[in-house]
A and B are shown apart, each in its own frame.
Chain A
């Protein structure tokens, strides 16, 4: 779908959504809380395209995302990303799968001995690699065609996510037990890669938002001590390196999965004035916005979540009720609040459910703090 196949974005909507979006970041008053359900391949369904088509055509993908943002009345930002970034730049094989984002079939590091010799690509080499070729195609499309919906992001995940794009996750977990110092080295290299990748984006667009945090390093897989060693500590060092390299100022801490036992640790992660903290689950339950804003409201924008499982499989009313509960608890958080989902908007979620989150924000998300 070339650009001319897309209807223009309504400028009145764009102005209104931009105003809602600015509030949590700059304390400029607006009517209500904005919704960011991390719109990605769900947008493909809006245009009756497949997931493979979406990820195989990054320029068209972001046009679909921007169109879906207007359709649903959500954050006016053209996102493009998937989980298995960066493996292909180092020799891994990225393959497409029906109904799913691209995934790595082979990874560049095969043994613990390979870790020492593994060389992190400097920005001047990384920028011409396959990941940035795709990523910049998406971002350039937004920058040129939807400039008011542009945000220069770099998809990283935490250091463990970068590392598991280089080594199979089974090996990383085995080494955590048998050779933890090898994992430490690997994660330091993943942090160096984060600095390199963010520097590429910042160099191209003048600023950068790093999407990082802790996905694999969650309470479902690791205990608190392990999360500190293999998640919090190396991620914190990496964030600081990125900020020192001038490759910020955006920090998006995506604490995916269950963080009941470690969420408090992340309060002291390095933050910039533009830091968003998203926490998925508190055990098996959605992470309550009241607890979230109590812990982080004095220092970061809190992205309160609606359970993606509910968005995917629940009723419209269930989604609406959970979104209502979350937005009422979080909307006046001192450093800003966004209502979202615990991870990417499910590809095949009923549109009525996505819309229910927005409806709850409209019905109950009016600020009282201004």
Chain B
């Protein structure tokens, strides 16, 4: 049973997350096995996708160390699955279910009725798509600009 670090508790408060929601994401991932594992074994990333929000929890054996979310809905790789295989670049994560290294790819990102692409990591086998924690600021700024322009 993981707990939530004090740092993440502050983050949750600032971003309007509930502790129970984050723990639910972790518990669901542990039960289903649907998660990414860092290749060095240091952390796992679990996610929950709803219509308007994709939420993530980054955790180790003991505690949740980060959580983040984006409103853009991540979809399939741009140009289809085969097109993105030409120059793949490995990420530092492994798909827990498939044991495959997840790859850096451009995937479709839908937001407020428009579609563009954005950077994500994708399991080549089960095709599950994740956004890395470091990339979420890029999406947040893009969401903010698009929200203003399309309002």
Contact = CB atoms under 8 A, between A and B. Distances in A.
B89 A243 contact: no
B90 to A, nearest CB: 12
Contact of B79 (A26, A273, A298): A298
Given A28-B149, A273-B116, A335-B116, A207 B78 contact: no
Contacts of A237: 89
B142 A274 contact: yes
A243 B104 CA distance: 13
Interface of B is mostly: mixed
Contact of B119 (A26, A270, A298): A270
Contacts of A246: 134, 137-138, 141
B83 A22 contact: no
Given A248-B138, A265-B86, A299-B78, A272 B118 contact: yes
Contacts of B109: 273
A268 B138 contact: no
Contact of A243 (B88, B115, B138): B138
B87 A270 contact: no
Given A22-B149, A207-B145, A249-B138, A271 B119 contact: yes
B17 interface: no
Interface in A24-41: 25-28
A244 interface: yes
Interface of A is mostly: mixed
Interface string A291-319: 00000001110000000000000000000
B146 interface: yes
Interface residues of A, number: 33
B84 A268 contact: yes
Contacts of B150: 26-28
A299 B86 contact: no
B117 A271 contact: yes
A240 interface: yes
A267 interface: yes
Given A273-B111, A273-B118, A25 B149 contact: yes
Contacts of A228: 87
B141 A207 contact: yes
A232 interface: yes
Contacts of B138: 243-244, 246, 248-249, 272
Interface residues of B, number: 33
A267 B145 CA distance: 24
Contacts of B87: 228, 232-233, 236, 265, 268
A275 interface: yes
B135 interface: yes
A28 B137 CA distance: 24
B114 interface: yes
Interface string B94-116: 00000000001110010101111
Interface in A245-282: 245-246, 248-249, 264-265, 267-268, 270-275
B149 A243 contact: no
Contacts of B29: none
A298 B111 CA distance: 15
Interface string B115-151: 1111100000000000010110111011001100110
6 contacts: A22-B149, A249-B141, A249-B142, A264-B86, A274-B145, A298-B117
Interface of A: 22, 25-28, 206-207, 228, 232-233, 236-237, 240, 243-246, 248-249, 264-265, 267-268, 270-275, 298-300, 335
Interface of B: 72, 78-79, 83-84, 86-89, 104-106, 109, 111, 113-119, 132, 134-135, 137-139, 141-142, 145-146, 149-150
Given A271-B118, A274-B142, 20 more contacts: A25-B145, A26-B149, A206-B141, A232-B87, A240-B89, A243-B135, A244-B134, A248-B141, A264-B86, A267-B79, A268-B83, A268-B87, A270-B119, A271-B106, A272-B118, A273-B142, A274-B145, A275-B117, A299-B79, A335-B117
